[in-house]
Structure 1
Amino acid sequence: MGQYYIDHYNAEIHHTNFVNDRCTILNVASKHRATLQSEREVARLCRDSGYVKCACCDGLVI
């Protein structure tokens, strides 16, 4: 299980463990961000609302 930042401004999802300098979430105002812990909710946002996982931090392994 992970934690995710939801960027409502750019419709992107960022895995909190892998956010880095290339992620756009760092430049988004806090009023456009949310935090989720549910992978089911992340999948629903991608499927139903057109959100995409950030290419900079999705699938990275520590």
Structure 2
Amino acid sequence: MANNQNDKGLAEGIKETAGAAFHALHSALETTENVAMNAVDATKNAANNLTGNRNEKGQRNHN
């Protein structure tokens, strides 16, 4: 009986560790995505500034 409980405890520990690892990886991926999207936005803004602030439709912005 004690051996069975040890096995169950070990399995639960493995599940918890795997779950924590999954959440850490998921969080890291979300952070990477946010950094990448910020880089894309910054590049778009820089390109707009270099090309006379044109919007997505190619029309000149009047600020």
TM-score by length of 2: 0.23
Structure with the higher fraction of residues in strand conformation = 1
Report which of the two structures shows the higher radius of gyration computed on alpha carbons: 2
Structure with the higher fraction of residues in helix conformation = 2
